[in-house]
Amino acid sequence: MVWSRLWLFVITVACALATVLALLAPRPIQRDLERESGARLERAQHAASLLLKVNARKWMDTAAQVATDAVLVEALEQATRGPADLGLVHKTVQERLRYFNDKMKVDLVIATDGKGRVIARAGLDEGVYKDGVEGFPLVADALRGLRGDDTWSLDGKLYRVAASPVIARDRYAGSLVVGEAVDGALAQSMKQVLDVDVAFLLRGRVLSSSSQPAVLSRLPSLVEAHAGELEQAGHSPPLAVDEGGQRWLVVLAPFVGEAAAHRAAYVLMVPRPPEPSVGGLVSGLLSSDLKTIPWVSLAPVGGALLAALIIGFLLLRVESDRPLKRLAREAQALARGDVQRLDDDRHPGKLGAVARAVNTTLDRIGTGSRPPTPRPSSPRLTPPPRHDSGRQDRPSQPPSPPIRLDSPRPSPPPVRLDSPRPSPRPRLDSPRPTPPPPPDLLREQTPLREEPTLPRSEEPKPPLPAEATPVVDASMILQSLGDTDQQATDLHRSAGPDFVDAPQLAALPPTTTGGPAGVGPPRSFDDEPTVANPAAARALLGIMNDSDKLTAPQPRLSPEDEALEAELHQVYQDFIDTKQRCGEPIEGVSYDKFVGKLKANRAQLITRYSCKTVRFQVYIKDGKAALKATPIT
């Protein structure tokens, strides 16, 4: 039991540790995944800044290419030199701008003269011209001969613009600005390159995005909160944002250019790895990793677990199951009467304690009012040898001497007492059967032998033969009477299955049938009766007939008779209780008939074995109540 408990404890601790590890193991993985997602976002932001810079250069080159258009150059030179028909120049320039606008798919084209005055527009406010835009640093630089790019916030929209000077021979004749709107198309193109979601913000609102997650509503406040960081570092660290049940990781970065003052920013977003959970882990394994699990590498782990289970089962079987079964078998043998005590030395640990407790109970009940006899050094009384197996539980102990009725002093054979014939109706003056006691109490009250208190080796020999066992089965007495009277036969038959031969009878040594005082071999009473003493059977039947006279006045009893009556009454109650416990009917068992039979049997046995008295014990045989008589010297 100790090892099985220790093994169970070890297994439990191992399982608990494994569970804790299974719950905690995803956390470092989760951190690594989030760290990796953050690094991925930072790389994406770096790539995005490069992408925007390269894209700005492309637009700058486009502006420079358009600025070389001869028509534009000529028209802007005229406008710069003035006086000229500015309306005509405007139309000319605007036609060219529309042409390029359609050709290059730009969203904004502006042409200015050398003073920064707008000559024509395309894509935005096409009807407006003659206004000055030289205040834009980008235009001012272009008028000086520099190419550059910028971001403008115009009419609530964000444009990425590039400008180039318009050169007319040896002088600067104006500037040309092209622009691209920052919208969903740009977000989608950036997403294709960066493999992350992209959103654009301007003045605290989301302009456009590559997708529409719920986290978009949180982005303006994030940009406001990290404005200083964006200005200083050029981007924010990866930020975890949970919104609408969605978990995202975002990186904020401002647009380079004038619109940065309007909080123009782009946001790169990736979904955060899901929260670690056992369910998620299992579902993930089942959905994607089941086919790729390295079963070969896991085989040692599975084998170790299987070995642990087998060891645990073996330990349980060795330390728990087998002793329990052994104790159960011995308890059944005790119930059958095959043994008189439990062999507590054979049972380890607490089972031995249980066996000792049972033996102590047997001692206490078996001694009656007498104090328990101290146990001798070898207190066990081994069960009688069995005919069927011939095997003894403890070969070292000498077997009980066989009871031989043909010996000079016949030993008392086991006596079976037939259960009374069921009466049509119970007698009114008979004691009412008491309800069965609880199982524990029943166990303590079960069949009782006197022998444990009478070790043969130490106690003085009674007048009985030295080798005779004092245990006598009442049924054997009935058989030994040798009565072939039909009444006796009926009596045996009336007992029905209650009197089927018990293994105890089979264990008894064979006796000579029909001898002077012999007892027939153990047999069932259903067999043809071979009663050895018909006179005793007749006497018993005569008592039974007398006991039917219930209305006859009873003489006053002596104290000894009262004690006998009380004892027989107790035996009757035990018999009734046992029958009820076994589920047998008790309607036909009348007290007077039962006690009458017991008295007759008692008288027979006292006469036969010269004993002082006879103790009747109720026990269960094959699931039914049976009775056993023991001569007490």
- Sites of contact with another protein (CB under 8 A): 52-53, 56-57, 60, 64, 116-117, 128, 131-138, 141, 143-151, 153, 162, 164-165, 167, 170-172, 256-259, 261-262
| Crossing angle (nearest 10°) for helices 26-66 and 184-194 | 120
Q: What CA–CA distance (Å, rounded) separates 613 from 231?
A: 115
Pick 165 or 366: Cβ nearer another protein? 165
Three-state secondary structure readout of 570-604 = HHHHHHHHHHHHCCCCCCCCCHHHHHHHHHHHHHH
Pick 5 or 57: Cβ nearer another protein? 57
CB of 167 to another protein, least distance (A): 5
Pick 228 or 371: Cβ nearer another protein? 228
User: How far does Cα 101 stand from its chain's mean position?
Assistant: 72
CB of 265 to another protein, least distance (A): 14
CB of 99 to another protein, least distance (A): 23
Write down the residue that tokens 């059967």 correspond to: 433
Pick 159 or 575: Cβ nearer another protein? 159
Write down the residue that tokens 């507590």 correspond to: 344
CB atoms within 10 A of CB 225: 13
CB of 263 to another protein, least distance (A): 10
Residue type, 342: L
Pick 133 or 620: Cβ nearer another protein? 133
Residue type, 607: T
Nearest to 464 by CA among 511, 518, 413: 413
Dihedral angle, C-alpha 119, 124, 128, 131, nearest 10 °: -60
Pick 177 or 502: Cβ nearer another protein? 177
Pick 262 or 492: Cβ nearer another protein? 262
Pick 132 or 431: Cβ nearer another protein? 132
CB of 64 to another protein, least distance (A): 7
Q: Are 266 and 7 spatial neighbours (Cβ–Cβ below 8 Å)?
A: no
Pick 131 or 275: Cβ nearer another protein? 131
Q: What CA–CA distance (Å, rounded) separates 357 from 342?
A: 10
DSSP string, 19-48: HHHHHHTHHHHHHHHHHHHHHHHHHHHHHH
CB of 233 to another protein, least distance (A): 17
Q: Token pair for residue 498?
A: 């209650």
Per DSSP, the three-state class of 144 is coil
For the chain, the first-to-last Cα distance in angstroms comes to 44
CB of 117 to another protein, least distance (A): 8
Q: Token pair for residue 348?
A: 């380890």
Q: What's the half-sphere exposure (Cβ side, CA atoms, 13 Å) at 118?
A: 20
User: How far does Cα 285 stand from its chain's mean position?
Assistant: 21
CB of 118 to another protein, least distance (A): 9
CB of 229 to another protein, least distance (A): 20
